[in-house]
Amino acid sequence: MSLAAIAVVSRRSGKPLYMHSFVESSDLLFGQYGQNETVGADFFGDILVEESLAQKSSEWSCEEKYEFMLHAASDRLDEMKWKKPGAAGADACWVGLLCSMDSFNAYGYVTTNANYVVIVEDGIAPDNVQLQKSRDVELKTLISYVHRAYTESLLNPFSDLNAKITSERFTTNVKSLVAGFNQI
């Protein structure tokens, strides 16, 4: 089990504030197929793939495959009711499994200012309930730490609530949390 990607989405505007993938993939758009002498041209010849990929990669450091999954899981999270009656603390924010895609599972965590979606490569059998519960606890703890890092980044008086998170400290904290999680 490893965390493949994470997204922080604004609850006010619904726009992504942060998206990052942590796993290299070889089956990206035009990554495995279509590598010939006309790699620069789209199938229809109207846009240059290299330019569009360079423009996209400058916006988010998240691979297209995971970006699509994060958007789909975020839409699913918006559709769900997330408040658990009688729950307090991190348990009240934890939504849990949102959806499954290929060999990946998406999990959600909701706070008053942001939605958090993580994509985890799943290697746990569905009938292994004990291991599933321990993974849920680990993910809940990880996302609560990511939420703490996001809240600390908002304490900067120059940060905008609805703008892309550009804080190097936030990015460093998230990368170290994910690296620790992926080593477990």
Q: What pLDDT is attached to residue 52?
A: 53
What are residue 121's DSSP bridge partners? 2, 104
Which band of pLDDT confidence, cut at 50, 70 and 90, is reported for residue 12?
confident
> Which amino acid is residue 114, in one-letter code?
A
- Whole-number Å distance between alpha carbons of 111 and 82: 10
Span 17-44, pLDDT tens digits: 999 998 865 444 434 443 444 444 444 5
In Å, what is the CA distance from 130 to each residue of 124, 135, 143, 147, 157? 10, 9, 20, 26, 44
> Is 90 exceeded by the pLDDT of residue 79?
no
Higher pLDDT, 29 or 152: 152
**What is the percent of the chain with per-residue pLDDT over 70, rounded to a whole number?**
74
